[in-house]
Amino acid sequence: MHPFLEPIVAKFPEAVITAEQDPVRGDLWLQVKADCWRVLAKFLHDDSRLALDHITDICSADYPDDQDRFEVIYQLLSLSHGTRLRIKARVSEEESEIETISDIWRGANFLEREVYDLMGIRFIGHPDLRRILMPDDYEEGHPLRKDFPAEGRGWRSRFDFLPKLDEPVGEWSEAEVPDDQRHQFMADDRPGDKKRTTEMLLNMGPQHPSTHGVLRVVLELDGERVSKAMPDLGYLHRGVEKLAEGLTYMQVLPHTDRLDYVCAMTNNYAYVRAVEKLIGMTVPERAEYVRTIIAEVQRIVGHLFWLGTQALDIGAMTVFFWTFREREVLLDLFEKLCGARLTLNYYRIGGVDADLTPEIISTLREFFKTFPDHIREYDTLLQKNRIWLARTKGVAVISGEDAINFGLTGPVLRGSGVAYDIRKLEPYGVYDRVEWEVPLGKDGDTYDRYWVRMEEMWQSVRIIEQCLDQLPEGPILAVDAQVIPPPKPEVMRDMQSLIHHFIIFTQGFKPPKGETYCGTEVPKGELGFFLISDGSSRPYRLKIRSPSFIHMGAFDYMARGYLISDICTIFGTYDIVMGECDR
């Protein structure tokens, strides 16, 4: 048994059913009894030998044929030991209840709501167990259950609640609410009391320019101060996880572009890494270098986009135009590389789609000659600007401990001074072969997160320049006839290649039975893919751990006490993208 698991089994011999390490992929996992889960969870969080203080993800799986139908899967991470642990608990269909852990890890609050919404497992003691991604009044069950149809009910015109395309627009029949019946969102003026005492509800979004998509937040206001913020997610929910259950592993790839459409490359990277971990594939060296270079270019693109929009939210409009000017150069480069600008679909299982040409490399080097000047230009506009400082310093402060407890990742966590970067903790690509540092903030306010992201751009430049110098020659795609389609010229000349080509495109490849979690550092934080394979060519369950969703879980905590105008700043500082948040 792995030494990390020994104290758990010694302390809870009857609660732990199995404690194992995956022999191929190295994942540690425990199967526990659902009714002992809460006591065990407290121990896992508090005991210093384990110190599993970071909640990464909560996932659920449905096995309709088993006696205990549902499985709740927790992904925990110990930041001090650098170890991940997966805990699985089975619940039966009749009960479908498990105790909440949302008071031990506050980040579990949203994650448990998601499991309840999509799988219908109730969490005993959860403070606010409501649907989160589906509409509140959704009555047709829980979509991720296997008995829920994967197909929609057809063409748009068959939905009776949608307006028909070919029908004339009906007259609006309901009259407006008369003035005297209208609910007044106004505080009562009491005689002798100048202060207004009642609180006001303000509905912000879903159509609001600063919410970066369709996000709605209901704010409870005391004057102009926010006393409670209630995010209402799910306006962009497409059901990618359910969709993926009907697609082969290769077909899921274009759908990952649409998660965080600002940084599609890194989404591709996160997904192909998860699949490669599942099937145990190694990637050629040149492909690893190309992947790292492109992922870092994408990080610069993502951070430029973030800088422009955050400055625009706060009111500095010029920065937005300038960052988009640089972003354009890099998007043109992506276009030359893979033929698309935004939804790139460039990474492949086992390598990449196209090689870096000398032209692209010289464009990149040319870009890096002028890029430092451009960053200095943004700094003249922002770094010492008193308006920028007043709007970012001391706004949305979160301490390192709280940030870990909420499960935050990426620059939002590092702004609070926690050195958690998957590229350092579990190096992938060629991050362990180049020199770079993890920039850390001190105060955990918006300014520190701004500083961390600016420094990360410098570090990305460092990484890319070293990678370009070291770039070896060689193939860019692994050779594995069972998994990777053979090169096109061979398909019509070699019978065996043709057969493999047909099998891979019609049936897809079949990974071995198993499950794995793989997290990748994307510009927004940790994007994780949890895959369960039942040995067929389609994923049995695919769970996306999206950083934006988990950051929204800390929104209420971070927004309390600040002004309405700071709400836009907080959206900006998360670098939130709703395509990824709502999935």
Q: Which of 9, 104, 129, 381 binds another protein (CB under 8 A)?
A: 381
User: In angstroms, what is the minimal distance from the CB of 170 to another protein?
Assistant: 21
Q: Please identify, using beta-carbon distances, which residue of 21 and 385 lies nearer to another protein.
A: 385
Question: For the chain, what is the largest distance between any 2 Cα atoms, rounded to a whole number of angstroms?
Answer: 92
Q: Are the C-beta atoms of 129 and 111 separated by less than 8 Å?
A: no
Q: Please identify, using beta-carbon distances, which residue of 126 and 501 lies nearer to another protein.
A: 501
Strands 54-62 and 97-99: unpaired
Give, rounded to a whole angstrom, the gap between the first and last alpha carbons of the chain. Answer: 37
> Which residue is associated with the tokens 């995010």?
231
Q: Which of 41, 253, 263, 275 binds another protein (CB under 8 A)?
A: 253
Q: Please identify, using beta-carbon distances, which residue of 256 and 266 lies nearer to another protein.
A: 256
If one asks whether residue 498 binds another protein (CB under 8 A), the answer comes out as yes
Q: Which of 247, 413, 484, 550 binds another protein (CB under 8 A)?
A: 247
* Among 111, 49, 44, 73, CA closest to 406: 111
Q: Please identify, using beta-carbon distances, which residue of 153 and 194 lies nearer to another protein.
A: 153
Q: Which of 94, 183, 384, 469 binds another protein (CB under 8 A)?
A: 384
Element (H, E) at 226: strand 225-232
Q: Write the interaction track for another protein spanning residues 119-158; mark x where CB under 8 A is met and - where it is not.
A: ----------------------------------------
Q: Amino acid identity of 436?
A: W
For another protein (CB under 8 A), the number of binding residues is 40
Element (H, E) at 204: strand 200-204
Q: Which of 331, 354, 397, 478 binds another protein (CB under 8 A)?
A: 354
Q: Are the C-beta atoms of 224 and 209 separated by less than 8 Å?
A: no
If one asks whether residue 491 binds another protein (CB under 8 A), the answer comes out as yes
Distance CA 401, CA 421 (A): 16
Q: Please identify, using beta-carbon distances, which residue of 212 and 501 lies nearer to another protein.
A: 501
Q: Which residues, numbered 160-219, are part of the site for another protein (CB under 8 A)?
A: 165
Q: Are the C-beta atoms of 533 and 512 separated by less than 8 Å?
A: yes
If one asks whether residue 493 binds another protein (CB under 8 A), the answer comes out as yes
Pick the piece of the chain touching another protein (CB under 8 A) from 61-69, 303-311, 407-415, 496-504: 496-504
Q: What is the DSSP string of 52-90?
A: --EEEEEEEEE-TTSSS-EEEEEEEEETTTTEEEEEEEE
Distance CA 280, CA 4 (A): 24
Distance CA 310, CA 210 (A): 9
Pick the piece of the chain touching another protein (CB under 8 A) from 42-50, 132-140, 384-392, 442-450: 384-392
User: In angstroms, what is the minimal distance from the CB of 194 to another protein?
Assistant: 34
Pick the piece of the chain touching another protein (CB under 8 A) from 24-32, 126-134, 209-217, 252-260: 252-260
Q: Please identify, using beta-carbon distances, which residue of 338 and 452 lies nearer to another protein.
A: 338
- From the CB of residue 493, how many other CB atoms can be counted at a distance below 10 Å? 8
Strands 122-124 and 97-99: parallel
Q: Are the C-beta atoms of 58 and 41 separated by less than 8 Å?
A: no
Q: Which of 88, 255, 273, 543 binds another protein (CB under 8 A)?
A: 255
Q: Where are the beta strands (DSSP E) in 307-386?
A: 347-348, 351-352
If one asks whether residue 481 binds another protein (CB under 8 A), the answer comes out as no
Q: Please identify, using beta-carbon distances, which residue of 185 and 502 lies nearer to another protein.
A: 502
Q: Amino acid identity of 555?
A: F
If one asks whether residue 506 binds another protein (CB under 8 A), the answer comes out as yes
Q: Are the C-beta atoms of 145 and 61 separated by less than 8 Å?
A: no
Q: Which of 231, 302, 415, 485 binds another protein (CB under 8 A)?
A: 485
Distance CA 56, CA 527 (A): 10
Q: Are the C-beta atoms of 527 and 520 separated by less than 8 Å?
A: yes
Q: Please identify, using beta-carbon distances, which residue of 142 and 538 lies nearer to another protein.
A: 538
Q: Which residues, numbered 289-348, are part of the site for another protein (CB under 8 A)?
A: 318, 325, 328, 335-336, 338-340, 343, 345
Which tokens go with 155? 């063409």
User: In angstroms, what is the minimal distance from the CB of 371 to another protein?
Assistant: 15
User: In angstroms, what is the minimal distance from the CB of 215 to another protein?
Assistant: 24
The residues of the shown chain that bind another protein, judged by CB under 8 A, are: 165, 247, 250-255, 257-258, 318, 325, 328, 335-336, 338-340, 343, 345, 354, 377, 380-381, 384-387, 485, 488, 491-495, 498, 501-502, 505-506
